[in-house]
């Protein structure tokens, strides 16, 4: 009998595919949040994820087979092609300032003892020396006394600061408002926390409506924000200066957010997550903010043109301020970020930190703590390192702006439009379109609405990388699917100017060639048109 059973089992194994042997079923389970959801059986999960069983986090990101990010795709393109000028990813390609390097070397080489050893673990919520320095500085920035142990959390970069903020706040089904266009990392971090991104589009206003393609500015309209906030809104994600547009939110726009979050339609527990990693790179301050406001008593530099929303009336208790050292000190690899806020918002992050990593690098935290006071001192002919940094980016921005305009891009006029960060959100003009091969523009006119890579912005950036050696980033990944389908992203490209002069000059040469190509193509089109007219003329025939 037992032999017969074994034989039957072998026959079934040979005949029935293993993925079909487990019946596909659905059931409902009660979640920890008190509502039920439908789940599929193991076999249907496996079919969707190449035979691999995955957890909720992967499912929230769309499964293992979800599309590659723009960064993965353009990294692949850059590896297959010779890139002469990389104006894509937003990190400087030069060293940190000398005082940062010196502080790091001193930290590494300094003798250790039982009370001080930067090669070992430090306090989980932040190295004591660093949190004291941050508290001192933010007490000036936010105009209030910051408790270094209860109001500060140090993280592995600003990305982790945002991740932990969302994890500490969001329950399944909570909504998080995001201003659009947005840094693409925000969306999946919200989803990983179980939240739902709600998009509030910024309105693009061209300078001159009569011109077919011109520069302009992105503005937050109060009524658009009011329409999107509900009792389900748990957080508003603010990024100023803004990636990818370079927008600096004005005081008036900040007050829109303050008014809405305090309105009866908002949830009383709704908070603002304020991403301020570019606060020291405001190269074109808003008109009302163009006064340098350093506190001479403390000798701590502030950031003219920048407004921390936590400093506005009633917002300290409803804001987590997020920042990092990477962009300010051209040291994105140091990976030191932080959160500043009231204990009720920061202590839950303290609770999560040891389960993510025990602590960020002690060496990097100690080196940064030593570097911060040096940044306030005169630097290379400027009043401080921050003043030097701002002027450095103004010069690099202007180097690129003139070349982009000559190539046929429309760019912001920074004499009238506030700007910060190190990106230009350039608009594709007709002059540039004439320089492109017809197959690029024709294919883009017959795009697949569900495939961003078929859009004009993506095809232009791919062509520039493969054919010209210039790497830029298409704007589609910074917009919601709805806006991409409407074609809003088609006309923009994100270009970074946080690069050495040699890189920007190499990009300028490529863009000049584009301008020349445009003239040649225009003459060819005129000749073709003329030839066409001659052929059609009956007298000539």
Helical H runs in 91-156? 98-109, 128-141
DSSP strand pairing (36-40 vs 26-30) = antiparallel
532 lies in a domain? no
Assign 21 a pLDDT band (cuts: 50, 70, 90). very low
- Which long-range contacts (C-beta less than 8 Å, at least 24 apart) are formed by 97-105? 97/329, 97/330, 97/375, 97/379, 97/385, 99/371, 99/374, 99/375, 99/385, 100/329, 100/331, 100/367, 100/368, 100/371, 103/367, 103/368, 103/370, 103/371, 103/374, 104/363, 104/364, 104/367
CATH number at residue 502: 3.90.1150.10
Average pLDDT value over all residues in the chain = 84
Q: Residue 369: which CATH number? A: 3.40.640.10
Whether residue 408 lies inside any domain: the answer is no
> What global pTM score does this model have?
0.84
Q: Is the pLDDT of residue 415 over 80?
A: yes
Based on the domain organization, do 455 and 336 belong to the same domain? no
Q: What whole-number percentage of the chain has pLDDT above 90?
A: 65
Are both 201 and 315 inside the same structural domain? yes
Asked, for residue 66, whether it belongs to a domain, the answer is no
Q: Is residue 327 a part of any domain in this protein?
A: yes
| Cα–Cα distances in angstroms (integers) from residue 96 to residues 104, 300, 332, 375, in the given order | 11, 20, 9, 12
Higher-confidence residue of 181 and 9: namely 181
For residues 274-292, average pLDDT: 82
- Whether 41 and 81 map to the same domain: the answer is no
How many angstroms separate the CA atoms of 393 and 412, rounded?
15
The tally of domains found in the chain comes to 3
Query: Using CA atoms, how far apart are residues 438 and 463, in angstroms rounded to an integer?
Result: 12
Claim to verify: residue 436 and residue 496 sit in the same structural domain: yes
Rounded to whole angstroms, the Cα distance separating 14 from 8 reads: 10
> What's the pLDDT tens digit per position in 62-94?
776 666 678 888 888 888 889 999 999 888 989
Task: Report the pLDDT averaged over residues 224-235.
Answer: 97
Return all residues near 506 (Cβ < 8 A) that are at least 6 apart: 84, 85
Choose the final residue of a domain: 375, 407, 435: 375
Q: Distance between CA atoms of 322 and 296, rounded to whole angstroms?
A: 25
CA distances in angstroms from 95 to 101, 224, 330, 332, 381, listed in the order given: 8, 42, 7, 10, 19
Give buried/exposed letters for 144-180 (b at 16+ CB in 10 A, else e).
eebebebbbbbbbbbbbbbbbbbbbbbeeebbbbbbb
pLDDT at res. 513: 85
Distance CA 461, CA 73 (A): 11
pLDDT at 64: 66
Q: Provide the CA 485 distance to its chain's centre, in angstroms.
A: 21
Q: Are residues 27 and 81 in the same domain?
A: no
Q: Is 66 helix (H, G, I), strand (E, B) or coil?
A: coil
pLDDT tens, position by position, 144-167: 999 999 999 999 999 999 999 999
Residue 400, domain member (yes or no): no
Length of the chain: 541
Domain contains 404: no
| Residue 354 placed within a domain | yes
Residues 366, 426, single domain; the answer is no
Q: Do residues 194 and 303 both lie within one domain?
A: yes
For residue 416, being part of any structural domain is answered with no
Q: Which of 345, 375, 405 is the last residue of a domain?
A: 375
**Owning domain of residue 477:** 73-90+422-524
| Residues 363 and 448 grouped into a single domain | no
- β-strands 492-496, 423-428: how paired? antiparallel
Q: Domain end: 375, 393, 410, which one?
A: 375
- Which are the contacts of 419, defined by CB distance < 8 A and separation ≥ 6? 241, 246, 247, 248, 282, 283, 284, 397, 412
- Shared domain check, 222 and 165: yes
Give yes or no: residues 437 and 470 share one domain: yes
Burial of 413 (0-12, 13-18, 19+ CB in 10 A): middle
Are residues 326 and 270 part of one domain? yes
The predicted-structure confidence for 436-455, as pLDDT tens digits, reads as follows 888 777 755 555 666 777 88
| 457 and 362 both lie in a single domain | no
């Amino acid at each position: 009998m037992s032999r017969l059973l074994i034989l039957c089992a072998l026959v079934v194994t040979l005949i029935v595919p293993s993925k079909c042997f487990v019946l596909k079923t659905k059931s409902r389970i009660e979640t920890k949040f008190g509502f039920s959801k439908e789940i599929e059986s193991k076999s249907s999960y496996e079919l969707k994820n190449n035979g691999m069983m995955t957890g909720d986090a992967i499912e929230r990101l769309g499964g293992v087979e979800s599309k590659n990010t723009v960064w993965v795709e353009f990294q692949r393109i850059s590896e297959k092609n010779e890139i002469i000028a990389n104006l894509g990813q937003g990190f400087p390609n030069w060293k940190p300032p000398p005082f940062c390097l010196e502080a790091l070397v001193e930290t590494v080489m300094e003798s250790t003892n039982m009370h001080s050893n930067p090669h070992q673990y430090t306090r989980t919520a932040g190295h004591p020396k660093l949190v004291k320095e941050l508290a001192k500085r933010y007490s000036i920035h936010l105009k209030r006394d910051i408790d270094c142990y209860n109001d500060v959390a140090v993280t592995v970069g600003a990305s982790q600061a945002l991740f932990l903020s969302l994890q500490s706040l969001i329950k399944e089904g909570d909504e998080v408002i995001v201003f659009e266009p947005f840094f693409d990392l925000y969306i999946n971090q919200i989803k990983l926390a179980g939240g739902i991104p709600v998009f509030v589009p910024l309105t693009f206003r061209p300078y001159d409506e009569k011109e077919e393609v011109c520069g302009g500015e992105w503005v937050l309209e109060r009524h658009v924000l009011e329409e999107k906030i509900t009792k389900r809104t748990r957080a508003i994600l603010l990024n100023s200066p803004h990636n990818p547009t370079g927008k600096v939110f004005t005081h008036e726009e900040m007050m829109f957010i303050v008014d809405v979050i305090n309105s009866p339609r908002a949830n009383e527990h709704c908070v603002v997550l304020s991403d301020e990693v570019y606060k020291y790179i405001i190269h074109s301050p808003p008109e009302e903010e163009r006064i340098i406001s350093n506190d001479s008593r403390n000798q701590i530099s502030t950031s003219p043109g920048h407004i921390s929303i936590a400093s506005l009336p009633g917002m300290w208790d409803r804001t987590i301020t997020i920042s990092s050292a990477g962009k300010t000190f051209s040291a994105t690899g140091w990976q030191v970020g932080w959160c500043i806020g009231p204990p009720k918002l920061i202590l839950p992050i303290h609770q999560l930190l040891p389960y993510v990593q025990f602590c960020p690098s002690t060496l990097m935290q100690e080196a940064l703590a030593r570097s911060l006071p040096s940044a306030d001192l005169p630097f290379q002919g400027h009043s401080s390192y921050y003043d030097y940094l701002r002027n450095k980016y103004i010069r690099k921005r202007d180097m690129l702006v003139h070349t982009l305009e000559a190539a046929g891009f429309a760019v912001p006029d920074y004499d009238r439009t506030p700007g910060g960060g190190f990106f230009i959100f350039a608009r594709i003009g007709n002059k540039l379109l004439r320089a492109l091969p017809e197959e690029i523009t024709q294919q883009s006119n017959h795009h697949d609405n569900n495939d961003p890579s078929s859009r004009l912005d993506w095809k232009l950036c791919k062509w520039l990388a493969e054919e010209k050696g210039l790497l830029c980033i298409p704007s589609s990944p910074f917009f919601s699917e709805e806006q991409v389908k409407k074609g809003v992203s088609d006309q923009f490209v994100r270009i970074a100017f946080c690069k050495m002069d040699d890189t920007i000059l190499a990009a300028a040469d490529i863009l000049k060639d584009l301008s020349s190509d445009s003239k040649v193509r225009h003459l060819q089109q005129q000749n073709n048109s003329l030839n066409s007219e001659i052929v059609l003329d009956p007298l000539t025939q």
